[in-house]
Every structure is written in structure tokens, then in C-alpha cells.
Amino acid sequence: MNPIIESLYETKHAENADGELMAIEPASILPEDGNMLYSLVRQHADGRSLEIGLAFGLAALYMCQGHIDNGGGHHTAIDPYQEKWFKQCGTLNVERLGFAESFTFLQQRTHEALPALFRDGERFNVVFLDGNHRFEYIMHDFFYASRMLEVGGHLMLHDPWMPSTRKATSFILRNLHDEFSLYEPALGKPPSFAGSLYAFIQLAMKNPYDLGTARIFSTRRFNNYIVFEKTSEYDIEHCDIHWDFYQPF
């Protein structure tokens, strides 16, 4: 992997615009998450990627490295706190990687940035959602990002240990299965029947009102991310008329 990424994980610190070192934990993704992002980008030659939540730039480095190894591509990142919380470490790291010319950074909240990207007709092949983790923000970000995702493209949600991410996943699997399916290579080995039952009981005890989500998360083994593949583009007019097929999630 790239020496900049290696050094960030080794030292656990990133250098900010004032030359000070900032601890990259606990805000940053883990190397295994980055490796999956890298492999997703590698599947889309000359692709365009979008990331929500740049932070210290770990995911961006993996994704941009994927574009570099593909021989071309473009990365867009959104983060309202890049200056305030991260003192530009993320954008600086992308510069240090030598990818600044093919990188667009928007220091905005997603509810400001995403509608503008959509209006401008942007399309992406890989999307990583790791911004505000409240349910309504995940769904907002997913709504816009999924509309801009090409068919055959991949979208990763981070942190399925959070109830909000689990609920969003459950919604997508229960109600958008015509458009999105789980990307199998991102899943772990399925649990045994006993393991699955044990996990179901644990989850059901934690939240007895959320058995549908418990079933989804006990029968599959997820990493700290969930990857969806977009399998078709829905007919927008059909979607504007029909509403009565929704399943509880």
C-alpha cells in the first residue's frame, strides 16, 4: 500500500496545515475498510468516486490510490468540518498523494452539497457514506448518492454497529431490492445456524421492536461496512405514482 497510508496507521497521527500532529483515531476508518474501498475503485476504470466525511483523509487516500492504479479517475469529498475539526489534514493528505488535480473538495453539509451535485448532472461509480450517522442523514445521503450512482456501481455504508446504519440497511434490503443488492464479496463467511440464532437472540433482546433488522444482521456476517451494488435504475415516474408496496423495515 502507499507509504503515506502506511505511515498514518503506523504513527496514528496526521500532520495538519500548521505542522502539528493530530491523532487520527477514533475518527478514521480501519485498513480493512480502506482495502475494500480500494478494490471497489479498482473495478471502475477511469471512474468517479464520491465520499461523504473526509476527516483525516484515510478513505480518500485508498480511493485516490485506486484511481492512480487505474491510470485515471476523479474523487469528490464532502465535509463541513475539514477546517474546523481536522485542520485540513484530509485535503493535505490527498495533495501529498499527488492527486489534487483530480480531486474536488466541498466544505459543506451534505444537504447543501448533494442537491447541487445532482443538479449539475454528476454521476459516480463508487460512493462511500461516512458522514453524519443519524438515520435521517444516512437516508438523505443515500437518496442523493444512489440517484447519482451508475448502474453497476457500488455504494458503501460505514458502521453497521450503529442502529441507524442497520435500520437504513434494512430499509434498502426490504424496499429497494429491485435497484440494490448486497455485494457478496464484501460479506464475511455466513454464520452457522447456532451462531445465527445466538446473534438473533442477542439483537432481539437489545431491541425487541426491531426483529426484521435483527434477522438481517444475524443471518449474515458483515464487516464494519456494507456494500450495495446498484443493479438497475428505477423509472422515476413509476416511483412518483406507486407507493403501496412498502414492507416494514
Contact residues: ligand SAM, CB under 6 A: 27-29, 52-56, 58-59, 78-81, 85, 109-110, 130-132
Distance CA 13, CA 98 (A): 20
Residue 28 or 125 with smaller CB distance to ligand SAM: 28
Distance CA 36, CA 63 (A): 9
Q: Could you give the dihedral angle defined by the CA atoms of residues 36, 135, 74 and 153, in that order, rounded to the nearest 10 degrees?
A: 60
What minimum distance in Å lies between the beta carbon of 80 and ligand SAM? 5
What minimum distance in Å lies between the beta carbon of 218 and ligand SAM? 25
Residue 33 or 179 with smaller CB distance to ligand SAM: 33
Residue 56 or 171 with smaller CB distance to ligand SAM: 56
Residue 130 or 179 with smaller CB distance to ligand SAM: 130
Residue 29 or 36 with smaller CB distance to ligand SAM: 29
What minimum distance in Å lies between the beta carbon of 74 and ligand SAM? 18
What minimum distance in Å lies between the beta carbon of 180 and ligand SAM? 21
What minimum distance in Å lies between the beta carbon of 192 and ligand SAM? 32
Cβ-contact 106, 139 below 8 angstroms: no
The residue whose Cβ lies closest to ligand SAM is 53
Residue 219 or 223 with smaller CB distance to ligand SAM: 223
Cβ-contact 138, 168 below 8 angstroms: yes
Strands 21-23 and 13-15, by their bridges, are: antiparallel
What minimum distance in Å lies between the beta carbon of 89 and ligand SAM? 10
